[in-house]
Amino acid sequence: MRLTLKTLSIIFSYPSEDLEELVRNREVVKPLLIGEDGEAAALIMEFLEKLDLERADEEYVAVFEMPPKCSIYAHTYLLKGKEDMVGQLLLEVKSHYKAKQLDMPVDREIPTYLPAMLEYLALVYDEDPKAARRFAKKYLQPWVGELASCLEKNRSLWSLPAKALKRVVDKIAEGRGP
């Protein structure tokens, strides 16, 4: 699952050279993703094949940053109506990153930013499957389905990797490996 999680982290980050490289090398990555989860791989590959790199940043901003946006920050889903608890959740998630002494992008991003959470999960998955399961179950599984629904409702191409994300997070949270 590690490569799938890392790939999804790149896909849900603001479009960059990493995404361009992923699109260019998709045929190399494809069999590796299939080895982890064939259904998730098919959704990711369809996204990479359909993505227009010339318009990727514009589409990304339109769906994730402009109203009606589909947030990629866990706290917007996990704390609906409890906004006063955001700081506590941010510290809690960041403590997971620090406990594993992982070099995470948390200094540049809010800890509940989906790509940062996926990077953490990718790094922890092989090393400590129980910690990965607990993290996925508590911080990702409760809301990634809602994100996928929002993206599908808005007819976003990102609904494809969001469906893959839900599938992978569910497998990890339920303790089912590749």
CA 31 vs. chain centroid, Å, equals 20
pLDDT digits (tens, 9 = 90+) for 102-122: 665 545 677 788 998 998 999
pLDDT digits (tens, 9 = 90+) for 15-74: 999 999 999 999 999 999 999 999 999 999 999 999 999 999 999 999 998 876 899 988
Domain locations in the chain as residue ranges: 2-173
What pLDDT is attached to residue 76?
A: 82
Q: How far lies 173's CA from each of 35, 86, 125, 129, in Å?
A: 19, 23, 11, 10
What DSSP element (H or E) covers 131? helix 129-135
pTM given for the model: 0.89
